[in-house]
Structure 1
Amino acid sequence: MTEPAAMPRTTPQQLDHPLRYEMVNELHARPSPRLVVPCTAVYLAFKEPRDAANRDRSVDIAHLAELVMRHGAPAPQDDAGHYAAQLGRHELRWESHTEFVSYAGFTPGQPHRPFDPALAEMFPADWQARAPGRRVAAAMVHVATMPDDPDAITPLLSSWFATDGLVAVQVLDGTAVVATDFRIDPAGWMRFAVFAAPDLGAGRLGRVVQRLLELETYRAMSMLALPRVRALNATMNTLETRLTALVERLGDDTRPAETVLHELLTLSLKLESAATQHGFRFGATRAYEAIVHDRIASLREKRFQGRQTLNEFMVRRFLPAMRTVQSAELRLDAMVDRAARAGELLRTRVDVQRSGQNQALLERMDRRADLQLRLQHTVEGLSVVAISYYAVGLLGYAVYPLAESAGIERSILIAALTPLVVLTVWLGMRRVRAKLHDAAGDRAGHGDL
């Protein structure tokens, strides 16, 4: 008895979907930094002003390579979506996103002066000036040890931040205090302060700082829609006035429907163009706003010393802008729908008018056909008379010698021939007409087939 052939061994990679490992690795591609108190984080985000989602990403890679090669770090890969390296005493993390690229530098140790612009030395001004885009976010995070007496934080906050708009909250069950005023200082940086408890782990502290940086970035990205919406509202005000006037004149029979339809089509094209131009920005704004709220929720904030919370600040300062954007999007969609409905009504009116015109045309054609039939009958009658006249004359000449030998007068002969000739010609004309009608019916039947 022969032994069964050994089955080929299958490796796990052969069983897996070709994208399984890539998808799993993506979950771990951007780990949060591990930070130790005290330290400073310097953050930049660059975005091209126009069509950033379709930018040439190789330019971003080249800009990153210029920075890291100054410090002797390895160059990034040509298709890199994230990068991390040690640049001297600074830890660099770079990420490429749909519309922007971000640079985060983390420097351990206590700075000589919090929020000193010199702390951004790893991002030279000349290098920033050559960035393929423009700064959409620039932030500094000062991380210090939380004092034993939380009241000792108050004078520091008063000296670092503006009282109006100051946000100070406890996060992660009171293990850290976060403060900011969401203002840009004279050096162009937005300031965040984090006071961490000694028992707060490096991973948790890194996630707090990363969430603050993401909160600022996505807040800034979502706010980009507001200036565009203000310009769009001015355009919609003009278009809505024209659309309302057109809708009100839909029942005006004094204006040709084709003219009104042409005006409505022109207006609809402008509305569709506006919807296409702003569709991506509206969708991106909704996504960015959702991330902002998610980052705030993940901090699990609590009020600190009676100061307003991050959520309260966003409700008062951020949400109105987002509602303005949402309102503009809904208004634009409603105008597009109104124009489409008006176009359908107007096309119905045009179709009804054309149906009436076609009905009138058919009635005129029927009258013309009836007149032609009467004329045809008249012509046929005259033709019978004319043909009979000449036929009687010819037959008279033909049979006259016979009639003369028989003693029949010419007038009597003509009188006798006339009814017979007229009847014969009439029957012949009728037979010819019947054949013509049968031939026309056969052609129409073949056409239907």
Structure 2
Amino acid sequence: MSDGLDLGLFRLHPLREAVLGEVHARPFTRLAPSVGVVRFAFLAQGEEAAVDRRGFEEFCRQHAVAAPDPLAKHHQVMIGPVTLRWEQHSEFATLTWIRGNADGAAARRFGDVDESLQSLIAALPQTGRLLVAIKLEVEEGKSPPERAAQLFDRNSLAMVAVRSGAGVVASDFRADEQGFTRILICDTGLSPEALGALVQRVLEIETYRMLALLGLPAALDLAPSVDRIGSRLVEVLQEMQGAEELKLNNRLLGELTALAASLESGAAGSLFRFGASRAYYELVQSRLAIVEGGEIPGYPTWSSFLARRMAPAMRTCAAMVDRQANLSVKLARAADLLRTRVDVELEQQNRDLLHSMNERTRLQLRLQSTVEGLSVAAIGYYVVSLFGYLAKGAHDVGLPVEPSFASAVFVPVAVVAVWVIIRNIRRHHLKRGGASMAED
């Protein structure tokens, strides 16, 4: 009986396939002892990552194997006896070379890479910067502590039994003469699926460990700058207590702004790095919780060994993030206080300026009133003089007009008329000026 229900009846989300397939990304590879693994992790983003991807696709075509799909982030191919796993992440890519050893580990030294594998590795160059280089060997052995003691530095050797109890993982986390970190897995009865999962998780622990520790150099590089900003902030706050001049307060405000800009520039540049380090550290912890089972007497576990080295580095990064956040808040608060002081001083200056302008305006009004009075007298004098000429002319032509008496009688009339006219003109101008200010 067939099920006729079809999802084509619905409008599918464009990201459904990607989300559905995410839980199946980067599957484990079935492995069996004895096997050797070489892993490289390269930091590459943007164009570098695109170049490396095209290089891997060309490598696959040259060796007549399937190239990855355009949107694939993981691909695995077989080239003769060698298995190559390619994985691309947000800021790095890994190349994991896996080769079997039919004759067992006794046929070669730990970590030896034959010429054929060396040729394959050299044929796939990367433009990204190499960060992680690991050599991992899976051996069958009845005495893992003795084998690990032969390979690693006893002073930094960490060893742990896997959770299933059928294997032991050991490493001293030191770089050998060629720069590789060496890891030993002693298989005491793991299934191929369990061994493949264990190998992948152990490789991820070392890869993410290195990526997580990238935040420490960034924190150490930022420390002198943050110290300088913090010290200068204290000095500026002390200067603020005695600063009363507007010019000095403006200078201090400009310096606080420059300090805030410098701090935010460093914080923005380190934001991704510190966030990534925290995420990688959490991945290391989760992988350790999955892998680790019982302890090996006389040896520290991977968790305890890495905790003594990684935890202080992660606390340093977290402390730097907290210092940046606290300094940012303090700088903003100090700038607000200083800006308030500057605003108050500016308001005081503006008030004094308005007061002086009012005084000058009152003086101008008094002067204008005086000038208006003089203007009335002067204009009235000229008007009376003109009227006197008219009266004399009328007297000369025989009209019954006494020029002196007529001029004397006309004086108050002329003065009042001139005063009224000047007053009306001033009121008209004041009214127009008030209307213009209201429109503005």
Give TM-score, length-normalised by structure 1: 0.87
Letter of the 1:327 counterpart: A
User: 1:96 offset after TM fit, Å?
Assistant: 0.8
Letter of the 1:122 counterpart: L
2:376 equivalent in structure 1? 384
Q: 1 CA distance for matches of 2:374 and 2:207? A: 98
2:177 aligned counterpart, secondary structure: coil
Residue 223 (structure 2) pairs with residue 233 (structure 1): yes
1:17 aligned counterpart, secondary structure: coil
User: 1:160 offset after TM fit, Å?
Assistant: 0.9
Given that 1:35 and 1:203 are in contact with CA atoms closer than 8 Å, whether structure 2 keeps it comes out as yes
Q: 2 CA distance for matches of 1:406 and 1:60? A: 121
* Matches for 1:418-437 after TM superposition, within 5 Å: 418-437=411-430
Residue 36 (structure 2) pairs with residue 40 (structure 1): yes
Q: 2 CA distance for matches of 1:183 and 1:57? A: 28
Residues 297/126 of structure 1: CA separation in 2 closer, same or farther (3 Å cut): closer
Given that 1:264 and 1:343 are in contact with CA atoms closer than 8 Å, whether structure 2 keeps it comes out as yes
2:154 aligned counterpart, secondary structure: coil
User: 1:295 offset after TM fit, Å?
Assistant: 0.7
User: 1:415 offset after TM fit, Å?
Assistant: 3.5
2:22 equivalent in structure 1? 26
Residues 357/124 of structure 1: CA separation in 2 closer, same or farther (3 Å cut): farther
Residue 345 (structure 2) pairs with residue 349 (structure 1): no
Letter of the 1:433 counterpart: R
Deviation readout 1:250-297 (Å, 9 max, x if unpaired)? 241245322222222222222221112111111111111111111111
**Structure 1: segments with no counterpart, 5+ residues:** 1-8
Residue 268 (structure 2) pairs with residue 276 (structure 1): yes
Given that 2:31 and 2:195 are in contact with CA atoms closer than 8 Å, whether structure 1 keeps it comes out as yes
Residues 68/120 of structure 1: CA separation in 2 closer, same or farther (3 Å cut): farther
Residues 412/120 of structure 1: CA separation in 2 closer, same or farther (3 Å cut): farther
Matched residues, number:
430
Given that 1:71 and 1:88 are in contact with CA atoms closer than 8 Å, whether structure 2 keeps it comes out as no
1:53 aligned counterpart, secondary structure: coil
Q: 2 CA distance for matches of 1:32 and 1:384? A: 109
1:256 aligned counterpart, secondary structure: helix
Letter of the 1:46 counterpart: F
Residues 442/190 of structure 1: CA separation in 2 closer, same or farther (3 Å cut): closer
User: 1:300 offset after TM fit, Å?
Assistant: 3.7
1:158 equivalent in structure 2? 149
* Matches for 1:123-272 after TM superposition, within 5 Å: 123-124=118-119, 127=122, 130-147=125-142, 152-198=143-189, 200-251=190-241, 252-254=243-245, 255-272=247-264
User: 1:401 offset after TM fit, Å?
Assistant: 6.5
User: RMSD of aligned C-alpha atoms?
Assistant: 2.6
| Sequence identity (%) | 34
Q: 2 CA distance for matches of 1:431 and 1:71? A: 105
Letter of the 1:22 counterpart: A
Residue 437 (structure 2) pairs with residue 444 (structure 1): yes
Given that 1:67 and 1:127 are in contact with CA atoms closer than 8 Å, whether structure 2 keeps it comes out as no
Letter of the 1:134 counterpart: R
* Matches for 1:355-434 after TM superposition, within 5 Å: 355-400=347-392, 411-434=404-427
Given that 1:68 and 1:87 are in contact with CA atoms closer than 8 Å, whether structure 2 keeps it comes out as no
Given that 2:59 and 2:123 are in contact with CA atoms closer than 8 Å, whether structure 1 keeps it comes out as no
The match for 2:326 among 330, 334, 349 is 334
User: 1:100 offset after TM fit, Å?
Assistant: 1.3
Residues 11/126 of structure 1: CA separation in 2 closer, same or farther (3 Å cut): closer
2:40 aligned counterpart, secondary structure: strand
Q: 1 CA distance for matches of 2:394 and 2:67? A: 129
Residues 157/219 of structure 1: CA separation in 2 closer, same or farther (3 Å cut): same
Give TM-score, length-normalised by structure 2: 0.89
Given that 2:35 and 2:138 are in contact with CA atoms closer than 8 Å, whether structure 1 keeps it comes out as yes
Q: 1 CA distance for matches of 2:159 and 2:48? A: 40
Residues 196/73 of structure 1: CA separation in 2 closer, same or farther (3 Å cut): same
**Structure 2: segments with no counterpart, 5+ residues:** none
1:3 equivalent in structure 2? none
1:117 aligned counterpart, secondary structure: coil
Deviation readout 1:167-198 (Å, 9 max, x if unpaired)? 11112142221111111112322121112232
Given that 2:55 and 2:124 are in contact with CA atoms closer than 8 Å, whether structure 1 keeps it comes out as no
Q: Which has the higher mean CA deviation after the structures are superposed, 164-173 or 373-382?
A: 164-173
Q: Which has the higher mean CA deviation after the structures are superposed, 424-433 or 251-260?
A: 251-260
User: 1:14 offset after TM fit, Å?
Assistant: 4.9
Deviation readout 1:292-315 (Å, 9 max, x if unpaired)? 111111114321113211111122
Q: 2 CA distance for matches of 1:190 and 1:300? A: 19
User: 1:357 offset after TM fit, Å?
Assistant: 1.6
User: 1:34 offset after TM fit, Å?
Assistant: 1.0
User: 1:352 offset after TM fit, Å?
Assistant: 1.4
Residues 265/78 of structure 1: CA separation in 2 closer, same or farther (3 Å cut): same
1:118 aligned counterpart, secondary structure: coil
Given that 2:48 and 2:127 are in contact with CA atoms closer than 8 Å, whether structure 1 keeps it comes out as no
User: 1:23 offset after TM fit, Å?
Assistant: 2.0
